[in-house]
Amino acid sequence: MLVAGAALALLVVMALLMPLPVALYLALCALAGTGITYLSRLPLRLEERVAFGMVIGAMAAIAAGFLVALLAGLGVLSVLLGLGAALAVSAPGWRLAAAGELAAEAADLGRRWRQAWPLWGLLAACWAFALYYLGGGYSLTPGGLLTTANGFYGDWAAHLAYAGSFAYGQNLPPEFPVDPGHPMAYPFMVDFFAASLVDLGASLTSSLVLTSGYLALALPAVVALAGARLVGSLAASAAGCLVFLLGGGLGFLNFFSDLDRLGAAALQHLPRFYTMDPDHNYQWLNPVLAYLVPQRSVLFGLAVALIVAALLILARERAPWQGYAVAGVVAGLAPLFHLHGYGTALALAAFWAFFDRRRAYVAFFVPALGLGLPVTLWMLQGGTTDVRWLPGWLADFPPHHDGAIWFWLKNTGLFIPALAAAQLWAGTLPPGMAARLAPLWLWFLVPNFAVFQPWEWDNTKFFIFWFLFGSLAVGALLVRLARRGVEGAVIAGILAVVLCASGGLDLARALDRTQMTALFIDSNGLAVAQWAREHTDPKAVFAVAPQHNEPVPALGGRRVVAGYGGWLWTYGLSDWVQKTDEERRILAGDPSTPDLLERDHVSYVVIGPQELAFGASPAYWAAHGDIVYQAGGYVVYRVR
């Protein structure tokens, strides 16, 4: 009870640090989702309803708010109407709860709270980490905006641009603000979620922290509780959650050489990350630092895949068609939140339907396909695919020659043999579950032979689901070993250390703010971004340097001719090289500039430190533009 109380205290502190309308909105999202779970007619436990409801309610409110915003624009009214729609959908569920289910479930939780200690311990640790880590993501100083981690400095720059384009630029229907004209083929709903909080009073940077924080508080509970439905034990699923969150390979062995070289200083400030070493072909990074933090939408995707799996397992046992239908609706809403999560939920359900041969699966696939496929097809038109053969994935990618076996051994340690043992050792998993989880090996095997995106590393978007579900099975193996006397406990302990040491070291280093702080945008950049938001048309197009932290796209909420090329390339946008060259010529005052300005609908040109480094010509624009802003090394010209 003390652990649960400490976790609750953390939530209260978090609520006190955000505007009251934002806190109420997030609380009501969770309330709506909890009520929706009652519509499934499945005998979920109260803690499952709350954990699953946090995700489902947010999806329902955001999706409804997005539909309203498409018609009326994003604002407080559309945000509240979306929330109201989610609450209205949940109302019949709350009527069922009020009929006696809620009281019975609360009493049941009161009887079981001691037995749920693995959940309370897991949440206390995960929530403390999430609140501290995310809470230090951005800090505003007189010198500018600081970030304290790699994910915030790099990937979150894109999320700032996307959320800002919704909040300040009325980017509806959504197109890439960093490549106008292309439908946004990115799961943008997590950033629309953040933009909704901006309308309720949060700053743009805080909105990213708060939405990631909300989902990060829900995810470990979802993994543990949905996982318990799959592997049959809360202790096993909690252990599996830690295997997933602390995952890494054999890179921790390098820590001993660092300790020998640096002595106690290596303990005080870890000198490097141990899952991030492309020079030695360590490509499987810690999931928290590679996915959950930087790729914010994956917080939705992982949760959706697990929730759908848990609901289908429970519906199979109890057989109400409503359970299949609710699972189908959750899956059908997923593509705009996370496309790979949608694909995983859909494919896994298809395998299970083939095993079960039950007509009730029709209630799942009708909403899952009816809602999800049109959105998926719409998103796919925004980019191009680049499918190609690459056996072994990055094992022998030049200049490396590891071979697949050694590559995966050093990148995941003993995870693969542990997963195989969990599925082959009879009794480790509930009856039939080893077969039900077996298809997930395809999420590992297929990406080891074919690449589906321009960037080879993006195959990890498939591997991550194999690793998530596989971690739950490995957790069951650890618990079974630990219960087999002293020898089994020793083996389980050694295996846990090998599986978790590299990721644990990396997470410890990520908490060291003395090493991870970097200047994202200086005070002069913040000023020009604020000016752009307040003095230009929301749909104005700017010509700026294609850098990830250029102030106008990152914080100004305005479209640019071409943003950071690394993003545009990985999205499969075929014209990004041409658009980047056009932007370069515009800034440099090339003879073709007048034609390019008209073609790209450019209204403003920024000449700042990044533009000068990119080859911009102040002389050309002084002669051909009208100065509308000039301060701190930035000059903004209105195109004549």
Residues 546-563 pLDDT 10s: 999 999 999 999 999 999
Residues 458-515 pLDDT 10s: 999 999 999 999 999 999 999 999 999 999 999 999 999 999 999 999 999 999 988 8
Backbone region of residue 403 per phi and psi (left: phi > 0; alpha: psi in -120 to 50; beta: other values): left
Give CA–CA dist 410/248, Å, rounded.
9
Residues 405-414 pLDDT 10s: 999 999 999 9
Beta-carbon count within 10 A of 87 CB:
20
Rounded alpha-carbon distances, angstroms, from residue 517 to 398, 502, 548: 32, 22, 17
If we measure between CA atoms, which residue out of 40, 82, 47 comes closest to residue 65? 82
**DSSP E strand stretches across 511-623:** 518-522, 541-543, 559-560, 602-607
Confidence at residue 591, expressed as pLDDT on a 0 to 100 scale: 95
Average pLDDT, the chain: 94
- pLDDT bracket for residue 8 (50, 70, 90): low
Confidence at residue 323, expressed as pLDDT on a 0 to 100 scale: 94
Rounded alpha-carbon distances, angstroms, from residue 100 to 50, 104, 105: 17, 6, 9
Confidence at residue 137, expressed as pLDDT on a 0 to 100 scale: 92
Contact (Cβ atoms closer than 8 angstroms) between residue 49 and residue 37: yes
Give CA–CA dist 605/118, Å, rounded.
56
With 80 as the cut, is the pLDDT of residue 148 above it?
A: yes
Span 414-443, mean pLDDT? 96
Quickly tell me which residue has 């589906």 as its tokens.
452
Residues 14-34 pLDDT 10s: 566 689 999 999 999 999 999
Contact (Cβ atoms closer than 8 angstroms) between residue 359 and residue 319: no
Give CA–CA dist 98/535, Å, rounded.
51
Backbone region of residue 572 per phi and psi (left: phi > 0; alpha: psi in -120 to 50; beta: other values): left
Query: Cβ neighbours of residue 444 under 8 Å, at least 6 residues apart?
Result: 462, 463, 466
Confidence at residue 150, expressed as pLDDT on a 0 to 100 scale: 73
Confidence at residue 129, expressed as pLDDT on a 0 to 100 scale: 95
Give CA–CA dist 322/409, Å, rounded.
43
- pLDDT bracket for residue 13 (50, 70, 90): low
Among 182-186, 217-221, 352-356, the minimum mean pLDDT is found in 182-186
Give CA–CA dist 522/33, Å, rounded.
40
% of the chain surpassing 70 pLDDT: 97
Residues 155-165 pLDDT 10s: 999 999 999 99
Residues 252-309 pLDDT 10s: 999 999 999 999 899 999 999 999 998 899 999 999 999 999 999 999 999 999 999 9
Residues 582-626 pLDDT 10s: 999 999 999 999 999 999 999 999 999 999 999 999 999 999 999
Give CA–CA dist 69/331, Å, rounded.
22
Span 233-240, mean pLDDT? 98
With 60 as the cut, is the pLDDT of residue 317 above it?
A: yes
Confidence at residue 324, expressed as pLDDT on a 0 to 100 scale: 96
- pLDDT bracket for residue 35 (50, 70, 90): very high
Give the DSSP letter string of 418-467: HHHHHHHSTTSS-TTHHHHHGGGGHHHHGGGTEE-SSSGGGGHHHHHHHH
Span 330-346, mean pLDDT? 97
Confidence at residue 4, expressed as pLDDT on a 0 to 100 scale: 45
Rounded alpha-carbon distances, angstroms, from residue 381 to 165, 186, 570, 576: 20, 11, 15, 15
Give counts: helices (H), strands (E), the chain. 32, 10
DSSP 8-state assignment for residue 114:
T
Q: What separation, in Å, do the N-terminal and C-terminal C-alpha atoms of the chain show?
A: 67
With 80 as the cut, is the pLDDT of residue 2 above it?
A: no
Give CA–CA dist 109/442, Å, rounded.
38
Span 567-575, mean pLDDT? 85
Please give the residue that has the higher pLDDT: either 150 or 595.
Answer: 595
Sign of CA dihedral 203, 205, 210, 212: positive
- pLDDT bracket for residue 385 (50, 70, 90): low
Give CA–CA dist 640/629, Å, rounded.
15
Query: Cβ neighbours of residue 218 under 8 Å, at least 6 residues apart?
Result: 51, 54, 55, 303
Structure tokens at 355: 């095993």
Confidence at residue 16, expressed as pLDDT on a 0 to 100 scale: 61
Residues 524-546 pLDDT 10s: 999 999 999 999 999 999 999 99
Confidence at residue 382, expressed as pLDDT on a 0 to 100 scale: 60
If we measure between CA atoms, which residue out of 394, 373, 525 comes closest to residue 456? 394
Contact (Cβ atoms closer than 8 angstroms) between residue 335 and residue 376: yes
Structure tokens at 77: 């009214």
Span 104-116, mean pLDDT? 93
If we measure between CA atoms, which residue out of 119, 292, 120, 305 comes closest to residue 211? 292
Confidence at residue 3, expressed as pLDDT on a 0 to 100 scale: 43
Give residue 293's identity as a one-letter amino acid code: V
Confidence at residue 381, expressed as pLDDT on a 0 to 100 scale: 75
With 70 as the cut, is the pLDDT of residue 188 above it?
A: yes
Confidence at residue 383, expressed as pLDDT on a 0 to 100 scale: 59
Quickly tell me which residue has 């009879």 as its tokens.
426
